[in-house]
Structure 1
Amino acid sequence: MDARLLDVLVCPLCKGPLVHDKAAQELICKADRLAFPIRDGIPIMWEDQARSILIDHP
């Protein structure tokens, strides 16, 4: 995924930053605990396509 695109993409729900998980091909919103899939290099930013994730907080 292009780093310039990551600089401008935000979570569609909270408008917070996203983290690129290269291995899982997902964009992660830690605030909303959602993972948005990347399919064929295209981020799918629809809430109904995201999956809930657990994030450990130290």
Structure 2
Amino acid sequence: MIDPVLLDLLVCPVCKGNLIWKEEQQELVCLESKLAYPVRDGLPVMLESEARKLGEQESV
């Protein structure tokens, strides 16, 4: 689980957009940049090179 205070502070490093926590996938998703950032061992990996591109049919 991501701390709600931390989630309020984090933004997408690409577009500075808001992030949505996807607990099942352990990812933080940015709908604006269409990227999903992994969360490993409870720590968000906020690097564009580590992000997964969202598929066209993927929704939050």
What TM-score does the superposition give when structure 1 sets the normalisation length?
0.92
- Tell me how many residue pairs correspond in the alignment: 57
Distance 1:36 1:11 in 2: 9
Question: Between the two proteins, what is the percent identity of the paired residues?
Answer: 47
Structure 1 residue 25 displacement after superposition: 0.3
CA offsets, 1:24-58, max 9 Å, x none?
A: 0000000111000000000000000001012558x
What TM-score does the superposition give when structure 2 sets the normalisation length?
0.89
Q: Which runs of 5+ in 1 are unaligned?
A: none
Distance 2:54 2:31 in 1: 9
Distance 1:35 1:18 in 2: 9
Partner SS, residue 15 of structure 1: coil
TM superposition outliers: structure 1 runs of 4+ over 3 Å:
none
- The answer to whether 1:27 aligns with 2:51 is no
Q: Give the match for residue 52 of structure 2.
A: 51
